[in-house]
Amino acid sequence: MPFVLTSGGVNRVAPAASQLGIAQPPLMRLGVDTYRTYEALYKAQPALRTVVEFLARNVAELGLDVFERASDTDRKKLQDHPLARLLNNPFPGSKWTKYRLINWTVQEYCIFNSAFWLKSRADDGTPAVLPVPRRYMEIRGDNLFFADTFRLNGTRGHRDFEPDEVVHFAGYNPDDPRDGWSPVETLRQVLAEEWAASRYREQMWANGARISGYISRGEKAPRWSETARNRFKADWSAYSTDMAAGGTPILEDGMTWHEGGITPKDAQYIEARKLTREEVCIAFHINPGMLGLIQGQQSGNVPELHQMLYADGFGPILEFLQQEIECQLLPDLDPGGVGKTYVEFNLRKKMQGSFEAQAAAISASVGGPWMTRNEGRALYNLPELTEAEDLIVPMNVTEGGLASPRDTAPNNPSNEASNGQPPKPKPVGSGQ
């Protein structure tokens, strides 16, 4: 059974605040002698964090359920299956929930194109999974395609795990099939430009947002004594360094001010920041319009964007997570369920339209009412009623194409009239 690491074992190798003894995390070069980790970029780059959190939060909201294929046309939701219990309570005794587990995993995967769960056991022996930050996991071995072991590094030591003791969500890497290549690295140039622009803006505001330039004295300027020169240098130094003073510098005779540097308008700060956001959105396959980054976005386009987001944007990562969980967790928890038990994100509740549109479509598809009164009450968390168990069928929507149950007697004049036909005339002298 690969669920071998207990909570006590986790604590013995758990990383402390200090990073001493831990392998150097991947670094991104932003400038001369300036490097940042992927985690630091996520914390400092608003565009990157906004897009990654948007994707992860929406995926985690969907919910992940376990089903059994009872037949080709029948599916049964398994509430008490071992995998369902594991997903609903990833690590008993901790504060990890299903939402938090999926949200964390998707964000980790977006940043590193790689995420790890340790197959462990809670104090009561219950199978559990514990997410581990990517920087603490090391893929070891000489095998080109598969990891021989996974090493969990910590300041108190390390521990090696067999491949079946770890759930590894690995994306594509052209250099190493065993691990993913971070999309943050692909965005390096865009993020480096944004970092440099942010540093420039910070320095400009730190200097009182004063304009850049230089002062010149023409040939016809009066003779400048040493005393006057020192006085002006002192005045200018006080102006340029004392941000609280403000005011306007006074130039002496013969001096001319020449503007220099890059103005905020010339630097196109707003346009550059919009470009950064859009580039990050594109890298994660999200339409910028879903994050409000397209000006003039028509509200009528929102439903179409919504459909595109969950079909094309989220669809691949949902399928990836589903298959990896089935492949790496299901055989350990239910070997007999392989092939007939599966997990699925509840994408339908995001893809479906309004309640009115759903009701009309389903009613047209099934040819009549499709929900009992108790099922309707359950939508609003109301208790069941004994007299509300049956499906109510209105008189004008019965089966067989008849307007009402009274249409069973074709010679009934009232029925013929109700069907749009004039009643047959009574025979003369019939006495009726």
- Amino acid occupying residue 255: M
User: β-pairing, 5-6 with 114-121?
Assistant: parallel
pLDDT of residue 211: 58
DSSP-derived secondary structure letter, 330: H
User: What is the per-residue pLDDT for 14?
Assistant: 46
pLDDT of residue 230: 83
Amino acid 22: pLDDT: 39
Rounded to whole angstroms, how far apart are CA atoms 264 and 47? 20
- 65, β-bridge pairs: 344
A 10 A CB-CB count for 218 gives 8
pLDDT at 409: 47
Listed residue (73, 266, 111) closest to 187, CA to CA: 111
Among 33, 24, 25, 36, residue whose Cα is nearest residue 194: 36
What per-residue confidence (pLDDT) applies to 430? 47
pLDDT at 396: 60
* Token pair recorded at residue 245: 């003073």
Q: Which two tokens stand for residue 331?
A: 């055989």
Residues 183, 186, 190: CA angle, nearest 5 degrees: 115
Q: For residue 415, give every residue at least 6 positions away whose Cβ sits within 8 Å of its Cβ, in sequence order, or none.
A: 406, 407, 409
Find the helix or strand (DSSP H, E) in which 37 lies. Answer: strand 34-37
Low-confidence ranges of the chain (pLDDT < 70): 1, 3-26, 28-35, 200-213, 239-250, 259-270, 293-303, 349, 351-358, 367, 393-432
CA angle (423, 426, 429) in 5-degree steps:
175
Instruction: List the one residue out of 344, 14, 55, 289 whose CA is nearest residue 158.
Output: 14
pTM for the model stands at 0.68
Concatenating the DSSP letter of every residue in 103-172 gives: HHHHHHHHHHSEEEEEEEE-TTS-EEEEEE-GGGEEEESS-SSS-SEEEEEETTEEEEE-GGGEEEEE--
pLDDT, position 210: 57
The pLDDT score that the predictor gives to residue 206 is: 62
